[in-house]
Chains A and B, each alone.
Chain A
Amino acid sequence: MGIIDGLVSGFFQAVSLEVFPFLLVGAVFGLVIGVIPGLSGHFAMAMVIPFLYAMEPGAGIAFLLGAHSTVAQGGGLTAILFSTPGTGQNAATLLDGPPMRDQGLAGLATGAALASCFLGAVFGAVALALLIPVLQQVVLFFGPPEIFVLAILALTFVAVLGKEDLTRSMIAALAGLLLAMVGLDNVTNQERFTLGLFELRDGLSLVPVILGLFAVAEMFDLWVRRDSRAGGMQANRLSAKETQKQIFQGITEAFKHWWLVLRCSAIGAAMGLIPGLGSAPAAFVAYGHAKQSSKNKDTFGKGNIEGVIGSEAANDAVEGGALASTLAFGIPGSSSMGILLAGLFILGVETGPNIITYNVDIVFLMLFTIIIGNLIGTIVGLFLVNPLSRATSLRASILVPILLVVVFTGAYAVNRSGFDIGVAIVFGILGYLMKELGYSRAAMLIGFVLGFAVEKNLYLALQLSGPYFLLDPIPLTLAIVTVVFLGYNVWTIIRDKRRKKSYAR
């Protein structure tokens, strides 16, 4: 399928009656989840996953990405209104959003944030669309040896660049890979690590693992704290009329700062291409750039609208870049992309050269889903800022029982198996412990999702070229990059420790 055909088909699929309602529901759901502090984008996606089994691919993709695309918008709203970012990626918005609120400009900041998110998402989607012809050529050079080494490189990036400690992240990534080995070996038909349980012969089911690690673990966290997630913060609520007026002004401001939006979106899209970096660092880099390039540097941190615009635009532009490696090589760079990849498996959508070359309409469907999802988020956010902000005052004692039964019902529904509820509970406890102790859940999930591909491609690579496949040009280059990158980071950690010790003396 040609790119133009794919673009037209993707657009009409996105606005069709079979897909659009799911996109709408997904986007509103994502916005509400984004508003609730502590429940992030991957939580929204994890909650959506069980429903995918009953959906057509187009509807499922729209539902999943619709939910994911609006989470940052919801998170931006609470960062401004309550000084509590709904998700980690909105942390940079805290620097200028709340000071603007305190000056009585909450509506202005909210409008600017919503519009910047939308514009950033459009930029990210356009960037990915422009990358498609390049990716179509690049993927042709990637066979089993290249994919195997690329997967290891991506895992290394996720482990090293994540916010968690390097050793803990590496342990999590390798443990994730090991978990993927549970079940029958496809080549020899031998049972591995099944403990004699029939239910484990097909391996650990993706959905309960995802739900456990990201949804049940959050429920533990909420239950332990058991207070309102907004921490009792009260928004500086304006009258509905005044808020509306300011929001429209904020949107105009975002368009007036189009050059800043463009530059910060470019930073976000470029950083999205690097596995493991995620939205939060992109938002902070964009914020720094906005400050550096501003004429009013002194007002940053005291309520400068450019700070809000820069960070929020980068936040959403990241998705376009992150989608590129996930779709072209089947290598996710973040937990959200890992869940997306799992969702695509469930929907029967194959990533890699196939999707980029023959099913490019699905790629465009994803792009239009992100754009339309963000547009829906902006429109809903425009008119429902005050009602939406009330979601933050939901008590954990009410929220947890409701979400918990929905999560367990989702875990059960996939294979109609009580065993999967048990898996979700076990991974929920594991996920909570990992969160508490600073082990990367993203690295574990990506390791788990990639495990099957890693083993399959290693097997094929050894069959094709024997153990010397590592000496082929692309695998060798990627392996060198992996070793140098890991070595450099280990060296910097040792150097910093030594410096600390010498300072202490």
Chain B
Amino acid sequence: MHDKQSVTKSGDRVEEQSVANKKSLELCFIIVVGLIVAAAFFSALGYDLVSARTPLVIMVPLLILIGGHFMRVKKASRNTDVVSILWAVVKGENQNFNIVAGFSGWMVLLLALIIVAGHYVGIAALMFILLRVVSREKILLSLAITTGVTLMIFILFELGFDIELHRGAIFKIWL
């Protein structure tokens, strides 16, 4: 009985922390979106009247909505210590953020690899890293999936649809 109660309490704490994290995230999100829209608004003021008309018609209510929503989120998170949550994120203590940031990093690496080493090298390397290094799948399974999917993409795009995928800067320099 006692164990059950402590499990429920710790479950509640996790839930509370998750809600607080979400509020902080939304606060940051709405600030970033608001700043981007405000920048777009000021740059639109410099356009021809015809070109600026529709964007301005869209942005005026958008900025009002963002402003109103920011106040709403701020009010809802008045009991949340946003600064310490953000500090925990910076220190790498937020598990979910670490996963998302790490995953984004892998995708950016894929893009860089594709540009430099070519599409097939990029996708094969990313698949193998995600399967073997990050997820610790068996090496044979990782190799089989990497080879199979890369081959399937080659057959589908190059042979099936006659679309030449990027060969990579290195390949182009060598040729």
Summed over the interface, the residue pairs from A and B with CB atoms below 8 Å come to a total of 151
What residues on A are CB-neighbors of B57 within 8 Å? 458
- B109 CB, min distance to chain A CBs, angstroms: 11
Q: Is the CB of B111 within 8 A of A421?
A: yes
What residues on A are CB-neighbors of B25 within 8 Å? 433, 436-437
Give Cα distance in the complex from A125 to B68, angstroms: 43
Which chain B residue lies CB-closest to A224?
A: B99
B interface footprint on A158-191 (CB within 8 Å = 1, 0 otherwise):
0000000001101100110110010001011010
Give Cα distance in the complex from A436 to B25, angstroms: 10
Number of interface residues of B (CB under 8 A): 59
Q: Is the CB of A405 within 8 A of B126?
A: yes
Q: Is the CB of B130 within 8 A of A401?
A: yes
Residue in contact with B69 in the complex, picked from A168, A219, A455, A458, CB distance below 8 Å: A168
Which chain A residue lies CB-closest to B148?
A: A402
Q: Is A234 on the interface with B (CB-CB < 8 A)?
A: no
Give Cα distance in the complex from A177 to B40, angstroms: 13
Give Cα distance in the complex from A51 to B123, angstroms: 18
What residues on B are CB-neighbors of A397 within 8 Å? 130-131, 134-135, 137
Q: Is B44 on the interface with A (CB-CB < 8 A)?
A: yes
Query: A408-B110, A412-B165 given as contacts; is B96 within 8 A of A402 (CB)?
Result: no
Query: A167-B72, A413-B161, A416-B166 given as contacts; is B51 within 8 A of A428 (CB)?
Result: no
Q: Is the CB of A432 within 8 A of B100?
A: yes
Which chain A residue lies CB-closest to B134?
A: A397
Query: A54-B162, A178-B58, A413-B157 given as contacts; is B48 within 8 A of A400 (CB)?
Result: no
Residues of A within 8 A of B (CB): 51, 53-54, 167-168, 170-171, 174-175, 177-178, 181, 185, 187-188, 190, 192-193, 216, 219-220, 223-224, 226, 395, 397-398, 400-402, 404-406, 408-409, 412-413, 416, 418, 421-422, 425, 428-429, 432-433, 436-437, 454-455, 458-459
Residues of B within 8 A of A (CB): 22, 25-26, 29, 33, 37, 40, 43-44, 47-48, 50-51, 53-55, 57-59, 61-62, 65-66, 68-69, 72, 96, 99-100, 103-104, 107-108, 110-111, 114-115, 119, 123, 126-127, 130-131, 134-135, 137, 141, 145, 149-150, 153, 157, 160-166
- 11 sample A-B contacts, Cβ–Cβ < 8 Å, listed by A number: A168-B69, A177-B58, A178-B55, A178-B59, A220-B100, A223-B103, A405-B153, A409-B153, A409-B165, A425-B111, A428-B107
